[in-house]
Amino acid sequence: EREMASYAERTKASQAATERARKVMPAGVPSSFQAYDPWPVVVKHAAGFTMVDVDDNSYVDYDMGFGALFAGHMNPAVHKAVSEQLADGTLYVTPCELNAEVGEILADRYGFPMWRPTNSGTEATMDAIRLARGVTGREKLVKVEGGYHGHHDEVMISNKPGLDEAGPADAPHSVPQSGGITQGTIDDVIVIPYNDPEALDRALAAGDVACFIVEPVMENIGICLPDEGYLQAVRDICDKHGTLLIFDEVKTGITAGYGGATNQLGVRPDLITLAKSIGGGFPVGAFGGKAEYMNYITDGTVLHLGTYNGNPLVMAAVKATLTEACTKPIVEETVARNGRLVDACQAIIDRSGIPAHTVRFGAKGCITWSASPVRNYRDYKATDFDLAFAQWIHGINRGVLLPPGLDEQWLISVMHDDDAAMRYATVFDEFVQELVG
């Protein structure tokens, strides 16, 4: 309560800005994930790893646009490339050479020959799922409980179901997460637990499953790692049933390491979806895969459309992000910097004996508020959300910017220096000391 009062005191201009916005916009925010109580921080400007709000509070940003800003705010290379492109026009709706350049860069990094750009991760997963249906002639889709893949209807099933409606842990119900989703859509989506190959085998054996869409590492319930051998088992089971495997790398993307989680973990899907970190903060997505599948788009069997696809400003940002801002050595250095932060946080936990542990993947990390590992959504739901909230409000009042709750994880961008990265550990240490008294 003391921390909530302090937040309210520090963010009076954010309160006023939110109250104004609420009159013209539901919840006063452009995307419902941006709303939280009592009101969100409203930002004036950002650069590097710093964000400044309308009350002139300065924060070290550890959210970095839900991971979209791996390149940092206003990365100089991205800024320069976009500024130069701006002078040459913002939209052509006929191709420009940047499209092929970006396709080549993605092919090189991810080892898949063909790509199409989209404007968001949502579009990437929507288009990949349609392609899988077009290729297989099947209708159903399998996803994991607690998995988020954007906001189109078919993936807005069992993102964050309440335990009262979620059904048995080993055979979860398909729970719509929004009004406006048809029963037909709900019936088309089969939900299984993560890290459970047998459940996948059972779901695919029932027949008519076009694709299994999964984040190779779940990054919308903190960070939830695959068990040893899980992804290879998934690959084998999909092959056995003729179901396409889609790795949703919207969040892992290049934050996982140079070639994404796919290369890092050594299992190849049939289709891959990207967004966020490849765009240096610009609205982008992409999907790619094996030529035998992508050629369904080439021959027009499956349509993939969009006025803004391959937008030259955005393509300039992607190219600069991938070739200048986030090169292999820069990514490796950033992953190492994140490793030092994770180690520091784990040492604080070990010293204090609090029921928590750290999880890391690439340039990301999180504090998981349970003594035991989180292997799936039900484990995640059993962690201590009250302590997570207490840590969040303590942090935000001391300039550690993240969204509340346990869904997100921190990201060390290529523009965080050691001091900026370690600030998180310092504030976490203060919190833990208050906690253990």
The binding site for ligand PLP (CB under 6 A) comprises 66, 120-122, 125, 148-150, 215, 220, 248, 250-251, 275, 285
Is 59 an active-site residue? Answer: no
Kindly name the residue from 140, 160, 276, 364 that is annotated as catalytic: 276
Radius of gyration of the chain measured on its C-alpha atoms: 21
**CB of residue 305 to ligand PLP, shortest distance in Å:** 17
Residue with smaller CB distance to ligand PLP, 128 or 396: 128
* Residue 310 burial (C-beta neighbours within 10 Å; 0-12, 13-18, 19+): buried
CA atoms within 13 A on the CB side of 228: 0
Q: How far is the CB of 33 from ligand PLP (least distance, A)?
A: 8
**Please, what is the minimum distance in Å from the beta carbon of residue 133 to ligand PLP?**
18
C-beta contacts of 154-159 below 8 A and 24+ residues apart: 154/126, 154/129, 154/185, 154/188, 154/189, 155/125, 155/126, 155/129, 155/189, 155/213, 156/181, 157/181, 157/185, 157/186, 157/189, 157/191, 158/189, 158/191, 159/220
Given 53, 248, 379, 407, which residue is catalytic? 248
Which residue is catalytic, options 7, 59, 62, 148? 148
Q: Which is nearer to ligand PLP, 251 or 304 (CB)?
A: 251
- Cα–Cα distance measured from residue 58 to residue 50, given in angstroms and rounded to the nearest whole number: 7
Beta bridge partners of 48: 73
148 catalytic? Reply is: yes
Closest approach of ligand PLP to the CB of residue 8, in Å: 28
Residue 219 beta carbon to ligand PLP: minimum distance, rounded to whole angstroms: 6
The 3-state DSSP class for residue 397 equals: coil
Which residue sits closest to ligand PLP, CB atoms considered?
Answer: 121
Task: Give whichever of 252 and 346 is closer to ligand PLP, judged by the CB atom.
Answer: 252
Which of residues 33 and 92 has its CB atom nearest to ligand PLP in the complex?
33
Active site (annotated) includes residue 384: no
Q: Is the dihedral of CA 310, 313, 314, 316 positive or negative?
A: positive
- Identity of the residue, 125 or 321, whose beta carbon is nearer to ligand PLP in the bound complex: 125
CA 336 to chain centre: 20
Overall size of the chain counted in residues: 437
The first and second tokens of residue 298, run together, are 């080439």
- What residues are annotated to the active site? 148, 248, 276
